[in-house]
A = this chain, B = another copy of it.
Amino acid sequence: MVEPLTASHTVTGRVFAVLDSFDSLHRRQSLAAISRRTGLPLTTVHRLVHELEKHAALVRGADRDYEIGSKIWRLGTLSSVHVELREVALPYMEDVYELGNDAVQVAVLDGLRCLVVDRIAGSRTISVLSKPGSRLPLHATGVGKVLLAFGGAELQDAVLGSLDRYTDQTITDAATLRSQLSTITSQGFAITGEELAPGAISVAVPLRGKGGAVIAALGVVSSSDNTAISRMVPVLQITAAAISKKLAQIGLGEASRLRAE
């Protein structure tokens, strides 16, 4: 039974209606904008927002707009996604690294990009781009394509609207990318070849949490002359299964939703 999204009749519900009205496409909003997007009366939003500001859950900028405040961010660093994904995945990532000496990375969906949660790399390895904390495009990286493929129609529509070009290999045609995505969902892994940076190719597989929802992606990045990279696919899949199993154990499972409205 789906709750009506418009509003919840409880205070907590209204608070989260306000907070949820923020997304990567609406990081800063005026009072009236929040009221419009939530469907809540202006007066109500006004009161709630002021209260939230008092708790540093929202901050008011130099202009009049509001944005998510430091309190929320700090609380977020306590969540499993942040702490445990890193902790659980790291040992397995090391194993993968030993095998091929290619850079290994874990990424999650972050708005319309993918956020590199952690990475292992030697000094020789390439991909200065994918440091922990980097936010990479979804359509030009292995991990990105995986997250995109399993990310739902709404996300895909938003991303496919404008596909930036990074190299001459970057896929900027929506139709081409769409067919790739369906291949990815069916075969369970993604490959990119010099689509983000020349000389870099990558393979990636999904990581699943409790209930089977895709919550992250695991991938390796290698130099483009390495033909052995496709041999990494089974390795990654085994590793992903092991990590996913562990993630399910500790109960990491909420599906992350995109609110595009």
Contact = CB atoms under 8 A, between A and B. Distances in A.
Given A75-B68, A77-B132, A249-B62, A56 B12 contact: no
Contacts of A52: 12
A83 interface: yes
B131 A71 contact: no
Main secondary structure of the interface of A (DSSP, over half): mixed
Contact of A59 (B56, B131, B134, B257): B257
Interface stretch (A16-24, A163-171, A180-188): A16-24
Contacts of A12: 11, 15, 48, 51-52, 55
A33 to B, nearest CB: 15
Interface string A52-81: 111111011110000111111111111111
Contacts of A131: 77, 90-91, 94
Given A10-B51, A131-B94, A254-B56, A72 B62 contact: no
A69 B259 contact: no
B79 A73 contact: yes
B111 A77 contact: yes
Contact of A75 (B22, B60, B251): B22
Contacts of A135: 74, 87
A178 interface: no
A16 B70 contact: no
A16 to B, nearest CB: 5
Contact of A256 (B13, B19, B70, B259): B70
A250 interface: yes
A70 B59 contact: no
Ranked nearest first, the 6 interchain pairs of A and B with the lowest CB-CB distance are: A76-B76, A77-B133, A73-B76, A11-B11, A73-B79, A70-B254
